[in-house]
Amino acid sequence: MKTDKPHRQLYLVLVPHRDIRLILKDYSLNLFKHGFYGAFHIPWIAPLAAISRPFNTDELKNCARILKTSLKGGKFFTSDAATVPFPLNEQGFSIYGPKLDINLSPGALGEAEKKINCIFSPPVIGALLRDGKETVALPPPPQVSFRAAAAANMYLFPLFKNGVIGLKWKIGKLHWLPNMQNYSNSVGL
């Protein structure tokens, strides 16, 4: 049995507050109980973009500010479930979960834009990693809304052994989205 050597992949991710991740953990547990074994193969985060190099602290802070200012009513809202292709060595995997109601427009991140390989649209909070062969209907995810979230780099190490995927990940330092009331007071808006 030979295990393929893991190749590090980098992503810019949105990490919801712990309270939201606990709700999504319960949803993943429900999926796992119903036979969906990819339920714990991905952390409860929303990949925003595949990147070539990690974002530095200033770029992550800027990303957090841009995400916060793009929100309607200062909150993230999830809508129906969505499935977004997720590149893992071109194996045809996708992430399933609640769709986030945000849009990263091209050019919004300034100089950091050069590090982006592709933007995931629509952003989905991962609750299940699916391979391209699965066609079974899934129960709908919980509808959540939240204000607290962070931008971070995520290092992902896909591990393939005999056609079975396993993932190892490390999420970098969290850069929390600013409180816009305090932010607008400090810059005089």
CATH for 123: 3.90.1140
Question: For residue 25, is it within any domain?
Answer: yes
| Residue 78 Cα distances to 22, 59, 72, 75, 135, angstroms | 15, 25, 12, 10, 23
Single pTM value for the model: 0.84
Closest Cα to residue 87, out of 33, 56, 132? 132
Question: For residue 1, is it within any domain?
Answer: no
Higher pLDDT, 70 or 163: 70
Residue 79 has pLDDT above 90, yes or no: no
When pLDDT is cut at 50, 70 and 90, the band that residue 182 belongs to is low
When pLDDT is cut at 50, 70 and 90, the band that residue 102 belongs to is confident
What residue numbers bound the domain in which 109 lies?
9-187
Q: What's the whole-number average pLDDT of the chain?
A: 81
Question: For residue 4, is it within any domain?
Answer: no
Q: Measured between alpha carbons, how far is 83 from 57 in angstroms, rounded to an integer? A: 30
Higher pLDDT, 129 or 98: 98
For the segment 73-98, the average pLDDT, to the nearest whole number, is 80
Return the ∠ at Cα 57 (arms to 53 and 61), rounded to 5°: 110
